[in-house]
Amino acid sequence: MGKIEDLATNYARHISLPWQQSVTGAQRVMLLVYDKEDDRKLTARIGEFEIKTREAGHEWMVFDCTTTFSDWISGDEYHEAYFESPEDIKMKIEGEFVNNIVSPLREKLQNANDNTVVAVTGVASLYGFAHVSEIVRKVELDIRGRLVIFFPGTKDGNNYRFLDSRDGWNYLAIGITAHSTGGVT
């Protein structure tokens, strides 16, 4: 089996366990960690994870971040000026962009029930614009079922490195890799 199949198998084992309903939002997050080189392969096979989720008796919703930045910046009246002077966009990104992701993700989470997996895909496209850890912290209280983030990077214990490049962050999420099955739901 390949790495994506192994990850899907380990995810299936984990998602089919009974869900504890008394856990906090932070403990309802699963990071499916995979090699950044496999991002396109995983995207092409995301349906396998939906099938595994539905076979386990859960509902499935997807929140795709792939075009979030381009959609956001193209809607700004000054977007052409940012190409001429890219340093001018830094404050706008820091002040507004994360909320552009958080708001629709929060809405999707609030529309889900306590038996729904909300899968976040395309997070590699956020690199340089937003931190996954910040997004997760802002939506923790809105998670009713489970939030699954397809995370290109590495995991060492509870330390996660996004795209293997920025300093790692420690988080309470359950990490699932092609080599392990994660922890308690």
pLDDT in tens, 39-94: 999 999 999 999 999 999 999 999 999 999 888 888 878 777 777 777 777 777 87
In a domain, 132, yes or no: yes
pLDDT of residue 177: 84
In the block, tokens 């939002």 appear at 25
**pTM to 2 decimal places:** 0.88
Query: What pLDDT digit, counting tens, does each position of 10-41 carry?
Result: 999 999 999 998 898 889 999 999 999 999 99
Is residue 185 assigned to a domain?
no
- Cα distances (Å, whole numbers) of residue 108 to 62, 140, 143: 9, 13, 10
CATH of the domain at 56: 3.40.50
Is there a domain that residue 57 lies in? yes
The total domain count for the chain is 1
Q: Which two tokens stand for residue 171?
A: 């988080």
Quick one: pLDDT at residue 178? 86
Q: Which domain holds residue 13?
A: 3-19+28-176
121-175: pLDDT as tens digits: 999 998 888 888 889 999 999 999 999 999 888 787 767 767 767 655 656 788 8
Alpha-carbon distance 37 to 5, whole Å? 15
Residue at 149 is within a domain: yes
- pLDDT score at 180: 66
> What is the DSSP secondary structure assignment for residue 64, as one 8-state letter?
E
User: Is 51 within 8 Å of 119 (Cβ atoms)?
Assistant: no
* Within-domain flag for 126: yes
